[in-house]
Chain A
């Protein structure tokens, strides 16, 4: 979806403001929100693409004014409510009124190492890669209402395939629960001027990680 999360190239947000000696967490609740998200993510009730999509559908005014971990909390509550795993009045009361439902799996102490390692998204290909390093390709001009990993600034532009990364779970399918639909993944490099026009830094190159369905031969 063409949401507020798709920020590449936008103006007006001001300078980047690094915080000297930033702590890992700014308060205890941030740490708990992170851990709750990881633990419930382990349960296999949703995949990583569904969880990204759940942040992207937050209303723009919410997205822009809530901190990172506030958005993670809103996302987690919504995913649980959507699946009927808890009720809004239980959150409000701070206590379970109904017994829990069975989970596909539960994160126990012995399994914590598994959530500290990222999953593997490489899958066996069903067809050979359509493109190879050095090929010039154009990104499609797609505007799906659902989750995609092709940013707006990189649509309809010509770039060069730099690297074939293998065949990966396709987020656009996984996010809407239509299966992993593995697709070839490429590093695709654009000249700054192709993306941003004449005024761009002539020495700028920008790459995206582009799934094959985003690309067309030229």
Chain B
């Protein structure tokens, strides 16, 4: 548990381990500024040496804050649900299929889409670091990069699903994909019941980031209605 807690600290000094003990109540504010100052110092040195252009850094950040996120993957999933031939293309060559949607600029090679069925549920992890399909899902959430997820997904995926409030029948096969090379995986979740005839735009609203990682399932029609209602 302590590691989990530490993983959610996004401040904190880098080298003095004593600052990371639990209960050091004064650390938050002072260490936050320490990190800000330290990163600013490095950026200044690199800029003065001519190694980086701060304007290029701004553009990278802007892309991840505004354009590259799970909405890109959701578009592909909604299209796959609505269009069987697109689904076949997606499962056959996800890089080409997602690129054809034109939602996210260029798509890197080696993207692989894996399909959930009533019999098989897929879950994606990177036990060695935090490999993740950035172009379709954006930057990974903190939990995906955390020790609890990376350690348990391969040995106790049902326990991990329970942490997300998801329970599958014991008879459902669970397939965990450890991203140990440059292949990147996204899950094609089961299409929720009661969505026959829905537009792709409406279907995309059912597709969550977590259901494309495999730690969730797509929203139900009732859950979406409850969100939309005041």
Contacts and interface: CB of A to CB of B under 8 A. Distances in A.
Interface in A138-187: 149-151, 153-154, 165, 168-169, 171, 185, 187
Interface string B109-135: 110000000000000010111100011
Given A29-B36, A165-B181, A121 B109 contact: yes
A65 B163 contact: no
A154 B135 CA distance: 28
A29 B17 contact: no
Interface in B57-112: 57-61, 63-65, 68-69, 105-110
B226 to A, nearest CB: 16
Interface stretch (B138-146, B190-198, B199-207): B138-146
B141 to A, nearest CB: 5
A69 B148 contact: no
A123 B229 CA distance: 52
B171 interface: yes
A40 B146 CA distance: 25
Contact of A32 (B9, B10, B43, B51): B43
A78 to B, nearest CB: 11
Given A36-B42, A36-B57, A122-B110, A68 B130 contact: yes
A73 B56 contact: no
Contacts of A25: 61, 65
A24 B65 contact: yes
Contacts of B150: 7-8
**For the side of the interface on A, what is the size category?**
35 or more
A57 interface: no
A143 to B, nearest CB: 15
B55 interface: yes
Contacts of A122: 109-110
A127 interface: no
Contacts of B4: 13-17
B223 interface: no
B65 A206 contact: no
B9 to A, nearest CB: 6
Interface in A4-36: 5-11, 13-19, 22, 24-36
Given A13-B147, A16-B146, A206-B176, A185 B158 contact: no
A52 interface: yes
Nearest to B64: A24
B49 A32 contact: no
B56 A107 contact: yes
Contacts of B49: 85-86, 96, 98-101
Contacts of B151: 7-11, 13
Quick one: which of A26, A33, A66, A98 has the most chain B CB within 10 A? A66
A218 interface: no
A117 B68 CA distance: 11
A130 interface: no
B20 A6 contact: no
Contacts of A118: 108-110, 134-135, 182, 184
B212 to A, nearest CB: 14
Interface in B13-61: 14-15, 17, 20, 32, 35-46, 48-53, 55-61
Nearest to B165: A18
B152 A13 contact: yes
Quick one: which of B45, B48, B59, B172 has the most chain A CB within 10 A? B45
A176 to B, nearest CB: 16
B41 A94 contact: yes
Given A13-B152, A66-B12, 18 more contacts: A6-B128, A7-B147, A7-B151, A18-B141, A19-B141, A19-B142, A27-B11, A34-B61, A40-B52, A64-B3, A86-B49, A94-B44, A100-B50, A106-B52, A116-B63, A118-B108, A185-B183, A201-B157
5 contacts: A35-B57, A39-B52, A39-B56, A117-B135, A205-B176
